[in-house]
Structures are given as C-alpha cells and as structure tokens.
Amino acid sequence: MDTNIYEQYQENKRFVAVDCVIFGYEEEQLKLLLFQRAIEPAKGEWSLLGGWVNKDESTEDAARRVLYKLTGLKDVYLEQVHTFSDPNRDPGGSVITVEYYALIKIDEKASNLIEDYGANWFTLTEMPDLIFDHNNLVEKALEKLRLRSSYEIIGRKLLPEKFTLTHLRNLYDQIFQRKFDPGNFRKKILSLKVLERLEEKDMSESKKGAFYFKFKPKNEGEFSDPIFKRSI
C-alpha cells in the first residue's frame, strides 16, 4: 500500500454511529420512542436511541444491540433509512450516523420494558425538540414509513385480529398526519381485496354497527402502484 494513502487512512478519523427511530402504535395514536441523553454534549436533552458501531460489527448488528441495551426490546425488525454524514452535525466530533426505523405495537410487555430502561413514548404532536439533527432523522423516517404504507397495507401487526375500517383508517390518519376521506378510503381499501369481511359487527361505532374485517394472507410486493394519492 502506498505510504501516503496509508497515512491518510489512519488520520481520517470519523466516528460511525447508528440512530434508531422507533415508532409505536397505541390507543389509536402514533408515538415516537425517545430517551434523555446520558453523555455530553447535550446531556439530559431528548434524543433518539443511538450509539457507536463497534469495529467488529455491522451497522445492522449495532442498531439491534443499541436498541436492546436502551430498551430491552429484541427481535424488532429494523429497516435502514438514510446515512447522515455532514461533518458538523454533531458538536462532539465528526460523526456519520446510519439511521434505522421500526414500527411496533406498544403492548404491555413493551411498555414495561421501556419504562424499566428509562425511555419514553411521545405522540408526534407532543414530542420535544431533539438534539443535533434528530428532528431531521424523524422526518426522514416518516417519509420512509409513508412510502412503505403506500405500497402495502400497514396494520397486520398493529391492529387486533379483527378490526373495523375505521380502525384501519385511523392508523393511516396517524401515519400521514392528515384525515383521509372515510368514503374514499373505504372504497379504495375494499377494491384491493386484501381484507375479509366477518359476519360480526362492532356496535360501538353507530346504531347500525360496523362490520369487522381481518387480513387475508399477505402477498409479496402486494401492489406495484401507490395505493393512496393525495385526493383520497
């Protein structure tokens, strides 16, 4: 190896980290998992869940390790979102971070674990201002989640086994942070033929009641075109 290149390689010290944007769904609200940073700079301020990538692990393994260390959660499917490499993004040094996101159902087990580890859930409308560029990371993860929600029906692991179309529409309202038209949403969802209607009604929504539905078995790459357009 050329000596000059080797010296540059040794001197080009940039740290590599991972940050996890964990969305959770509970009580018909989309929430974000945050914790108070334990080290300087910005000690005590609200942050995404993050940490360093060890020299003997991949960024994927680091993200899983960091998530487990800070929340006790494991076996969570994490999807890579983006790499942020602005050398000035972290006042503590030149840090490249690889961002991952997940969307989970906040059940009692997850709530207890997260509470024990000192992390907190916030709704998107009530989340505090975050350190460094973490607000940008959240927005980037939301873009990824919304894109995914446009090509497959989100909700298989978030909704009960049987649910109404109102329950599903509320989930989409939360993900896109806007209100979908009930009639158009119903028409579009039913046209996709991914739900099976049950002969049972939820009588809490109206006097006539609303039929329960359940998901049919999933097909890989369910739809080649976006499900929802702005007019829905």
Q: How confident is the model at residue 1 (pLDDT cuts 50, 70, 90)?
A: very low
Domain boundary (123, 151, 179) is at 151
pLDDT confidence of residue 114 = 87
Strand pairing class (15-26; 95-105): parallel
User: Does pLDDT of 9 surpass 50?
Assistant: no
Q: Residue 34: how many CB atoms within 10 A of its CB?
A: 22
Q: Are residues 50 and 125 in the same domain?
A: yes
Q: Are residues 201 and 137 in the same domain?
A: no
For 50-54, which contacts have Cβ atoms below 8 Å and span 24 or more sequence positions? 50/17, 50/18, 50/19, 50/20, 50/97, 51/17, 51/18, 52/15, 52/16, 52/17, 53/16, 53/17, 53/18, 53/98
User: Does pLDDT of 11 surpass 70?
Assistant: no
**What average pLDDT does range 207-218 have in this prediction?**
90
Domain assignment of residue 88, given as a range: 3-151
Among candidates 80, 221, 220, which has minimal Cα distance to 144?
80
Q: How confident is the model at residue 108 (pLDDT cuts 50, 70, 90)?
A: confident
More confident residue, 151 or 1: 151
Q: Are residues 29 and 144 in the same domain?
A: yes
Tens of pLDDT, residues 119-173:
999 999 999 999 999 999 999 999 999 999 998 899 999 999 999 999 999 999 9
Among candidates 4, 61, 65, 70, which has minimal Cα distance to 33?
70
Q: Are residues 144 and 160 in the same domain?
A: no
Q: Residue 75: how many CB atoms within 10 A of its CB?
A: 6
pLDDT confidence of residue 230 = 47
Q: Residue 19: how many CB atoms within 10 A of its CB?
A: 26
Q: Are residues 157 and 147 in the same domain?
A: no
By three-state DSSP, how is residue 68 classified? helix
Number of domains making up the chain: 2
Domain boundary (97, 125, 151) is at 151
* pTM (two decimals): 0.89
User: Does pLDDT of 176 surpass 60?
Assistant: yes
Tens of pLDDT, residues 55-107:
999 999 999 999 999 999 999 999 999 999 999 999 989 999 999 999 999 98
Q: What is the CATH number of the domain that holds 165?
A: 1.10.10.10
User: Does pLDDT of 19 surpass 90?
Assistant: yes
Residue with tokens 């509470």: 115
Domain boundary (128, 151, 174) is at 151
User: Does pLDDT of 29 surpass 70?
Assistant: yes
pLDDT confidence of residue 6 = 45
Give whole-number Cα distances, 117 to 114, 129, 153, 204, in Å: 5, 21, 32, 37
Q: How confident is the model at residue 117 (pLDDT cuts 50, 70, 90)?
A: confident
Q: What is the CATH number of the domain that holds 42?
A: 3.90.79.10
